[in-house]
Chain A
Amino acid sequence: MKETIGIPRALLYYYFYPAWRAFFESLGRTCRVSGKTTKSVIDSGIKVTVDEACLPVKAYHGHVMALSGECDNVFVPRLVSVERKAYICPKLMGLPDMVRHNCRDIRGIIDPCIDMSSNSWAYIKELYATGRLFTRNPLKIFAAQHKAKQAHYEFVRLLQAGLTPIDAMENDFRPSHNLVSGQDKSVRRPIIGVVGHPYIIYDSFLGMNILDKLNVMGAKTVTMEMLQPTTVQREAEKCGKKVFWTIGRRLLGAGYYFLRPGTVDGCLQVSAFACGPDSFISEFLQQESARSKRRVPFMTIVVDEHTGEAGIQTRLEAFMDIVERSMAR
């Protein structure tokens, strides 16, 4: 029987799914992604985690539980670091342990430890050990790794071309956002820079479809993934000390870029309740906004499991009013 590997549609699925799928499929396994986040997924996640955990982690547990009856193994990688001297987030470093202790009816967990903070040798060994679960042939593992890399580069290229990760993975490479039909071409549409972890803003339930809502209100949205990595990197260096969370630093770079007058018309930060890195990133951005002379409208929205659709809608409308007023000036 062909083994199926479950991949929870949460956290860094939004960055690495194409690579993971290419890796497992070239080793002869099929991947099964859990369904979209729903109220019941979140509820089952909340039941097993501690209250203090952040919403994306709770949702992750929900997705793992949803997969538990459907596949032989669940892929819960321990993503420690994807670049030198930087980490992802402490919670992702302890994720397999949390999942193992909280979701007791899970059959098999594949949890390679991906840590490139000091050297890549440990990473290669870990990759090989994961491949060995499926094949004895090292060449096959190497080929799978190569395919995964190519899939990832292709994915990154699509993102920079202006696609969201959802478009690049699921919608057959057709952009689904920023398309507003029947719009008068002569009016300039406001551009909103959205700063937020990919697993919040691209998850239609956790992020309350904020990107779509902005599009409906006639705004164009730009996210961190669509910016040039070099720009983001350069902007992030404005901070007095290097931010040691990979995604956090990119968010900060994108935020600094958006807060520069002339780049976008408004900057919107979306973060999860009690998110550790975001609490600091948002402070840095607020300080930067307070320092600059020509201010770009800036707002932070915090989402959690109690967030209501209507509340978000009201705040977005108010924000867009401010953006339009500042554009008219």
Chain B
Amino acid sequence: MKLTFAHLGDYHIAVKALFETLGVDVVLPPPPTKRTMSLGSLNSPEFACLPLKIGIGNYLEALEMGADTIVMVGGIGPCRLGLYCEVQRQILEGLGCDFKMIVLEPPQGRPDRLLRQVRDIIGAQRISRLFDALRLTWSKLTAIDRLNKITLCLRPFEKRKGDITRVYEASLRRIDEAASPKEVQAAAGNARDAMKSVCKTEGRIGKAEDPLAPRIGIVGEVFMVLEPFANCEIEKRLGEMGVIVDRSIYLSDWAVEHVIKDAFRIFRKSKLLNEMAKPYLCHFVGGHGVETIGSTVAYANEGLDGVIQVAPFTCMPEIIAQDILAKISRDLGIPAMTLVLDEHSSDTGVLTRLEAFVDMIAMSKCRRR
């Protein structure tokens, strides 16, 4: 069995570690490129959302490389993500591909069900290795998230443009190679020091050294926020413009919310975000709609200088959020911009809009002082 899965930011490192520790062969699709995008959008329904199209592109490229099994998450709606598995399976079968698709459905209070699905993939004899594999995966996942957080805070203060990105990528390779949680910890610690050393100020991470540096929060649909290829590397670009970026979604938090707490039906943390969103949107709308609204309100209360919502074109929950975002922006006085992206979005177009938004924020910030 040669297993493959779609890309999501840098998290393929963690997922790969999970399956490889369990003794499953993994064929990693090549990092998404223009070709991935055109393969995907050629073979997908026109009005499907971007994550589905990039996923199809990933699978086609992985199947070319010899993969024969696809792992995909399921869902219970009302967001379209829950039906991705079926649409993608039918599209790929229609193209004459030979593969097997394994769908991991949300456990919904039945952790045993999740376990049984995992056992079907890896076989019963390897289940004893599951604990170690999960431990390694979790350490890689949290290490990637921690590094990301540091990158977002430090990038505006790097000595030479691109230094932080270089250090970050080198550290990712080291995390990828690490074979035990201890090695992952060491790699992450080294990366942290290396990043500090290429920065102008050696102050504490997370504190805004320059009070004039604008702080912008990023909200929106999970895939679009987490996948730099899909969002035209918005975090890197903002950072290089001197903006401290705050991202509202990290996969490790998301996993705790949606897999672990869902499996055991524990009170969810996002209740807090629901409370914050209540004056504007008082019912869940699928996907990340309520979280987008809640995070925007939270950012406004924290005193951030602006919020950027990224959403794929035709995303249903984000359209509702986008509609309401203008009202929050008016009420709480936080500038908000929505970037709706699809396969036709160009880097230059996005860059121009980002520059205009950042200029506007910087100007009003200067005026206020």
Contact = CB atoms under 8 A, between A and B. Distances in A.
Q: Please say whether chains A and B are actual partners in one complex.
A: yes
Interface string A196-231: 000000000000000000000000000000000000
B286 A87 contact: yes
A75 interface: no
A274 B280 contact: no
Contact of A280 (B78, B80, B89, B93): B80
Interface in B305-332: 313-317, 319-320, 322-324, 326-327
* B: contact size bracket: 35 or more
B185 to A, nearest CB: 40
Nearest to A93: B285
B288 to A, nearest CB: 11
A243 B317 CA distance: 17
B217 interface: no
Interface string A232-254: 00000001110111000000000
Contacts of B87: 280, 283-284
A145 B57 CA distance: 51
A30 interface: no
Nearest to B330: A101
Contacts of B283: 78, 80, 93-94, 97, 113
Given A80-B283, A241-B83, A87 B289 contact: no
A290 interface: yes
Tell me the dominant secondary structure on chain A's binding face. mixed
A50 interface: yes
Contact of A243 (B83, B282, B287): B83
A239 B77 contact: no
Contacts of B282: 97
A281 to B, nearest CB: 9
B76 A50 contact: no
A160 interface: no
B90 A90 contact: no
B76 A85 contact: yes
Nearest to A80: B283
Contacts of B85: 241
Interface string A261-296: 000000000000111111110111001001100000
B323 A101 contact: yes
B94 interface: yes
B23 interface: no
A244 B320 contact: no
A280 B44 CA distance: 10
A113 B281 CA distance: 13
Contacts, number: 123
Contacts of B78: 87-90, 93, 244-245
Contact of B316 (A80, A90, A291): A90
Contacts of B317: 90, 94
Contacts of B315: 276
Interface residues of A, number: 40
B47 A279 contact: yes
B122 interface: no
Interface in B81-95: 82-83, 85-87, 89-91, 93-94
A50 B77 CA distance: 23
Contact of A240 (B86, B287, B327): B86
A172 interface: no
A232 B239 CA distance: 53
A139 to B, nearest CB: 30
A93 to B, nearest CB: 5
B284 A93 contact: yes
B323 A49 contact: yes
A98 B323 contact: yes
Interface in A90-114: 90-91, 93-94, 97-98, 101-102, 113
Contacts of A93: 78, 283-286, 320
Contacts of A102: 323
B285 to A, nearest CB: 4
A52 interface: yes
Nearest to B94: A287
Contacts of A98: 320, 323-324
B286 A279 contact: no
A274 B312 CA distance: 11
B79 A90 contact: yes
Counting chain A CB atoms within 10 Å of each CB, the highest count among B80, B315, B326 belongs to: B80
A232 B45 CA distance: 23
Contacts of A291: 94
Contacts of B46: 279
Nearest to B101: A240
B263 interface: no
Nearest to B314: A274
B340 interface: yes
A94 B77 contact: no
A138 B293 CA distance: 37
A257 to B, nearest CB: 18
A53 to B, nearest CB: 6
The 7 closest A-B pairs by CB, nearest first: A244-B77, A94-B320, A279-B47, A87-B78, A90-B316, A241-B86, A283-B45
